[in-house]
Amino acid sequence: FLGAGIGLAVRGGAVLDGTEVLAVWLSRKISLSIGDVILLFNIMIFSVAAYLLSIETALYSILTYLAASKTVDFIVEGVDEYMGITIISPHYEAIRLMIVQKLGRGATIYEAKGGYGMSQKDLRNQPVVFTVITRLEFARLRRNIDTIDPTAFLVASPVRDIAGGVIKKKALKH
């Protein structure tokens, strides 16, 4: 409940104490989430508490805030956590059409050279499909790709920030 309360406050534009203000500001400057920054601040505070009070109490507090920080991130970022998907397949055009038509997302195709061979002649051009989807759309994308090309190579990476394009905006800009 602690993480949900903090997350709802931050998502609504409010704060509970100074750590949330610093966390929102620092999350813009460094590549940590708001929940991770709050957790780091609290670990520093709990380290002092471990020295002054007891290690056991401080460890329980750290464990509580570890769970709370993940809840804060979930509430602030929402369910629409974005993923960048890189797909390598000779059936790139069918995959691109599926992404655009079935998922309603955009796709970028670029040329890459395969680097898995031992000699220079093994380096051949290979089209690569890139798209950005939500975490919840990944299973559907994977199923659709498996029907087109079961041997397609997929790499999924979390996307922290998106600017421009036709991606749906998140409710909170922090």
Any bridge partners for residue 113, and if so which? 125
Contacts of 40 (CB under 8 A, 6+ apart): 32
Tokens 């104490």 map to which residue? 17
pLDDT confidence of residue 97: 96
Q: Considering the domain delimited by 82-158, tell me its CATH architecture.
A: 2-Layer Sandwich (3.30)
Q: What is the predicted pLDDT for the residue at 7? A: 79
What's the pLDDT score for residue 134?
86
User: What does each of the 174 residues of the chain score in pLDDT, given as a tens digit?
Assistant: 777 887 788 777 777 777 778 888 888 888 788 888 888 888 898 899 899 988 998 888 888 888 888 887 777 776 667 899 999 999 999 999 999 999 999 999 999 887 776 777 667 888 999 999 988 889 999 999 999 999 999 999 988 777 766 555 444 444
Taking the domains of the chain in order of start, what are their residue ranges? 2-77, 82-158
Helices (H), 118-167: 138-148
pLDDT at 108: 93
**How many CB atoms lie under 10 A from the CB of residue 103?**
16
Q: At what angle do helices 34-52 and 55-77 cross, to 10 degrees?
A: 170
